[in-house]
Structure 1
Amino acid sequence: MKAKMLLNFFVVTGVLANCFLEAGKYYGINPYLIYAIAKTESNLNPYAVEVISEKKLPLECPYERKKGKYYYSCFPRNFSEALNIVEIAKEQGANFSVGLMQINKVWLPVLKKYGYTIRSLLNWCNSVKVGAWILAMCMSVYGNSWKAVDCYNKGIKGAKEWSQYIETVLKNLK
């Protein structure tokens, strides 16, 4: 299993693999875990955008309706398409997450202080760096645990000891 994971890890371009390695080293996080989270979040699509809205939006993305909300999973082919989806989400007041690590819009005010924008989060390495930073913050609260991984997805207050999200990340680690 480790060999398969290693092969998958390095099949991703050398530049992207280096992003995982550098972020892992900087934050003291296993780069395979960061990779597995990226695989879970975006299936390694740097332009992925998830949109959550109270109303149906004019997006050409698959969606499902849960608990009265529309959940759009968009996998654009390029940067311009991703930006267009984000603009529609912003205009409609929808929640959204962008990039390889699916960085949620709630982080944008903090990230702006460090020079990050929606545009820069659609860059592979920037997304990995920011995602590792968020995971490191979760680990500072929950330690090196699965609850910290769930915190990455749900935030500090919503994190659970075990969840479907953790199971998917674990599957992507194998």
Structure 2
Amino acid sequence: MGLRVAAALIVLTALAPNVHGYCFKKAGARYGISPLLLKAISDVESNGDIHAVNYNAASGTVDIGHMQINSFWKKHLGAHYATLFDACYCTMVGAWILKQCIARYGYDWDAVACYHTGCGVADAKSRAKRKRGLAYIRKVKKRLAAAKQP
């Protein structure tokens, strides 16, 4: 019996990356966003760790899941906020947030900066926020370029 459970866990672990890829494709199709861009954001945010939790001492907020959804969004998500450790749900929420940034800045790098900092680089009120946005864009571009390599 124990051997069967171990074998099942090995199979499920091997399948997990494919399920995760499916999540990016599904969210990308729903919101008109490249699945590769969503994956690159996930990689930068948490290295794809679906159990990632980061506490932001300065702001008193928490980032949850592989897309690092900030607790700011809790009021919009309601009870579903607790579901952010589900890979597909977290991907869908991340794509929804990015889509709001795209509506504001267009489908360009300012929208990617907005996902991370809450505003585009041009709208950043402080030099520090502008630098954070630019650094984030560079990281996502690097991950995106690596994902496109054969």
TM-score (norm 2): 0.76
How far the C-alpha of 1:94 sits from its partner, in A, is 2.9
Matched ranges for 1:44-83 at <5 A: 44-53=48-57, 69=58
**Could you say which residue in structure 2 is the equivalent of 1:169?**
140
How far the C-alpha of 1:116 sits from its partner, in A, is 1.2
What's the secondary structure of 1:168's corresponding residue? helix
Give runs of ≥4 in structure 1 deviating > 3 Å: none
Please give the per-residue CA displacement for 1:28-70, whole angstroms capped at 9, x wherever unaligned. Answer: 00110000000000000001111111xxxxxxxxxxxxxxx5x
CA distance in 2, matches of 1:39, 1:19: 14
CA distance in 2, matches of 1:108, 1:98: 11
**Could you say which residue in structure 2 is the equivalent of 1:61?**
none
Q: In proportion to residue count, which structure has more helix?
A: 2
**Could you say which residue in structure 2 is the equivalent of 1:83?**
none
Of structures 1 and 2, the larger Rg is shown by: 2
Q: RMSD over aligned Cα, in angstroms?
A: 1.7
What's the secondary structure of 1:116's corresponding residue? helix
CA distance in 1, matches of 2:102, 2:70: 18
Q: In proportion to residue count, which structure has more strand?
A: 1
Identity of paired residues, percent? 38
| Alpha carbons of structure 1 residues 132 and 13: separation in structure 2 relative to 1, 3 Å | same
**Could you say which residue in structure 2 is the equivalent of 1:138?**
101
Amino acid at match of 1:24: G
Extract unaligned runs of 5+ from structure 1.
1-10, 54-68, 70-92
Extract unaligned runs of 5+ from structure 2.
1-14, 123-132, 146-150
Please give the per-residue CA displacement for 1:69-111, whole angstroms capped at 9, x wherever unaligned. Answer: 5xxxxxxxxxxxxxxxxxxxxxxx9311000100000000111
Amino acid at match of 1:116: H
CA distance in 1, matches of 2:96, 2:56: 24
**Could you say which residue in structure 1 is the equivalent of 2:75?**
109
**Could you say which residue in structure 1 is the equivalent of 2:92?**
129
Please give the per-residue CA displacement for 1:110-150, whole angstroms capped at 9, x wherever unaligned. Answer: 111xx512x30011111100000000000001001100000
CA distance in 2, matches of 1:139, 1:111: 20
CA distance in 1, matches of 2:32, 2:60: 34
CA distance in 2, matches of 1:102, 1:173: 18
CA distance in 2, matches of 1:135, 1:12: 24
Pairs aligned (count): 121
CA distance in 2, matches of 1:34, 1:111: 20
Amino acid at match of 1:151: C
**Could you say which residue in structure 2 is the equivalent of 1:30?**
34
CA distance in 1, matches of 2:61, 2:95: 21
How far the C-alpha of 1:12 sits from its partner, in A, is 6.4
